[in-house]
Chain A
Amino acid sequence: MTDTKSTTVAPADLRTAHEALAGTTGFVEIRGAGTAEGWAGAQEPADLVLDTGKLTGVLAYNPADMTVAVRAGTPLRDLQAELAEQGQRVAFDPARVARGATVGGLVATADSGPLALAHGSMRDLVIGATVVLADGTVARTGGHVIKNVAGYDLAKLMHGSYGCFGLLAEIVLRLHPVSAATATVRIDCRLGTAAEHAATVLASTLEPVALEWADGMLLVRVEGTEAGCETRAGQLAELLGGAVLSEQGALAAWKRHADLVNDAVVRIGCRPSRLPGVLAASGGTAVAGLGTGIGTVKVPYEAIEAVHDAVTAVGGTSVTRQRSPLPARAWGRPPSAVRTLRELRAALDPGGRLCRGRFENWFTGEAIS
């Protein structure tokens, strides 16, 4: 949300990103592809909009090292296409990637997809980053090697920060091979049954890379060699009483999954075994990562508060993925260390310039209700 007086700057590299913030004043909105603009708290009107639309391109890619450095405004979809030519990928598949979400935006919003079961989220895949702080200071963290414990891992701080600790300008990612084959097993069932199936699968040694229930269908995906996938998908289908989907069938099923996630109103994280209960109680259209404990639900706006409360009651966290026209909290309970977050905000952005409002009242020092 910006008012008419704001100026938009679209830096194309680190230097211009630095110049946009160094020696300037006023509030700043960071804008990527806009695919998560409606997530979390609304950004307050800013004097300057930093648009990462031109901050794109691969900086270094050595396939043999399986790492890539990119400018943060690069759409992940474009990067994946480039990596696929070498048989590699970022093992990360959130729903909004297809809509052009940027690498930086995906890190800043702590997004994830079904593959998180096997590969985690961006926090597990980012190995280095270059960040521009509110005062223009350029800081590097991590590096270009997957194993590295030198210094604080500031990329983790940026993960899920919605831009409040700095602008992600460059990101180094670890890559994985594109597997030779993949197969998906589908079981049509209710969420409660799906949870029982999930427990069976997770107690087996079949190692699914994704295990998701999406509004009436349980999808279990395996990846590996051609023969291995066929064997394991067959075993899963038999174990759970489901069907191995054709390639087209699998694409369609996962597309439906992504559509449901894209349409969700609240994103939830909690202990995996508690997720089905919370989702069922919400009464909404739900998608459940039964191994990860990450789920999304579409509910009417007036039900958002009730979802936050139910998630909080089981010790989970929640955040909205669509801006409610009604007064409703964007975030469920704030984290236990909210005071430390406030101190870090004060240390890295003392004027509170960046992306104000994204965390509602976490940073303002107001009492947290």
Chain B
Amino acid sequence: MLDAEVLHAFSSAVGAANVVSDPVRLRSYECDGLTGFKQVPSLVLLPLDTAGVAAAVRVCHRYGIPFVARGAGTGLSGGALPVADGVVISLQRLRKVVEVDPVDRRAVVQPGVTNLDITKATARHGLYYAPDPSSQQVCTIGGNVAENSGGAHCLKYGFTTNHVLSMTVVLPDGEVVTLGEDTGEQLGPDLRGVFIGSEGTLGIACDITVRLLRVPETVRTLLADFPSVTAAGEVVSDIIAAGIVPAAVEMMDNLAIEAAEKAVGAGYTLTTPAALVVELDGPAAECGNQFEQVKAICDRHGCTRLHIAKDAGERAKIWQGRKAAFAAVGRISPDYIVQDGVVPRTRLAEVLGRIETMGDAAGLRVANVFHAGDGNLHPLVLFDADAGELERAETLSKDITELCVELGGSLSGEHGIGTDKACSMPRMFGEDDLAVMDRVRAGFDAAKLSNPGKLLPTPRLCGEKPGRYRPHPLEEAGVIERL
């Protein structure tokens, strides 16, 4: 509990009307999209502007109170999980589009603006904001900055870090600085790049200047069925080998398709073992030619049905099926865990085979939806908590991400480490790597008040002994070494 003096200081900082202390209201902040972890915060602050955020953070700094910034709370790794005896600083009231500059193709937005609203605010200029996480209708740009969010189109267009030029940041001691410059290229050290994806542990982003892209002249989308996941995987490899960089390549397996069809009826084939969504965009003169190449590659690998979106409506339908897949598995299973891991794209078939074996061994089904172009898997581990399967499902889910690391990949492609995977970090990084990250953190936040307990493993969270380090495959091959 916070004492009266601190309460008064917070009230002065953000205005008494913008402080939530009612236990019932506090409960709605107890978790983010990863609902397995819950912690009711001591207080929630709802500042109205950057100055209010800075004032709130200064109070935290003065009294040594940990704080957790929160946008829409859609994160899937527990990055916005409150800290016991800490406060939540919600950015929900900072949701103005401050400026749209069609000449220099950029917009300045407050952190509570949703990802999709940026595109809505700029569409009349023929511009859009490229990163498109599945939750883009509700997730906020501030959260995107914290997580370095990607989306289906990041294979071609990159991630949040490639689309944010600069940010007004409230550092963990309350100082307000600008990270980044007026151009995407900084001449000195790129602190903006360090901050983006730091999961709220280095401060709070306020005004965010994003780069806007011209809406491409043409978009071509196809949905193709294949007799096996392996065949679909070979199509992806051949497309890349042909020198084509598609805007998006998404794969779904039969279980994911079954779920998505039950939910939205997007026209996917219920019986197909695997389906690919391939989207190309760009100048018409380039797109048409490459689209023909993609169709030929699909045919060559035994495509059993090829559906080409005839218009924007049909394209939206295809994407609806893909984007609905996560939530849709609720229709084929009472409970599920959404996982996020990355493997080098050439190891997709191998990882899928091993996930199947691991699922069989655990007696659990795993549906697969993934960004095939960049090897980013989203296995959905299906289970029934009432049947006592939760623990087995969590173990399987964790083992799958750690398998990704073992295959030369990463613990997370876009959902972040947060609370969920902090204890798995020693599987991917050595002690020195993590110690250096901690030193970087100290450079921003010596008092460790900004979202503590996330991203980096702590003894409290993970026990004194971190998980056993497994050598990176390149290390075993003698390609890299750990000194």
Contact = CB atoms under 8 A, between A and B. Distances in A.
Interface of A: 13-15, 18, 59-60, 62, 64-67, 69, 87, 110, 112, 116, 120-121, 123-124, 130-131, 133, 137-141, 143-161, 164-165, 170, 176-180, 199, 202-207, 224-225, 227-228, 231-232, 267, 269-274, 292-294, 315-319, 331, 335-337, 339-341, 343-344, 346-348, 359
Contacts of B198: 152
Contacts of A137: 432, 435-436
B440 A170 contact: no
A272 B183 contact: yes
B184 A316 contact: no
Contacts of A164: 189
A347 B443 contact: yes
Which 10 A-B pairs give the minimum distances between C-beta atoms? A156-B193, A177-B243, A205-B217, A293-B183, A344-B443, A139-B436, A228-B286, A228-B285, A148-B410, A337-B177
A18 B483 contact: yes
Interface string B268-293: 00000000000000110110011000
Interface string B178-209: 11011111111111111011100000000000
Contacts, number: 304
A292 B182 CA distance: 10
B439 A347 contact: yes
B161 interface: yes
A152 B410 contact: no
Contacts of A177: 243-245
A104 B443 CA distance: 24
A124 B162 contact: yes
Given A60-B474, A123-B190, A140 B430 contact: yes
B374 interface: yes
A56 to B, nearest CB: 15
6 contacts: A124-B162, A145-B374, A147-B371, A150-B429, A232-B286, A294-B183
A89 B155 CA distance: 16
A140 B469 CA distance: 14
A182 B435 CA distance: 46
Contacts of B289: 225, 227-228
A36 B159 CA distance: 30
Contact of A140 (B240, B376, B413, B429): B429
A339 B178 CA distance: 12
Interface stretch (B11-19, B146-154, B360-368): B146-154
B216 interface: yes
Nearest to B413: A147
Contacts of A112: 185
Contact of A205 (B216, B376, B432, B474): B216
A205 B214 CA distance: 7
Contacts of A315: 182
B126 interface: yes
B231 to A, nearest CB: 16
B440 A348 contact: yes
A147 B189 contact: no
Contacts of B222: none
Interface string B440-483: 11111010000000011000000000000000001000011111
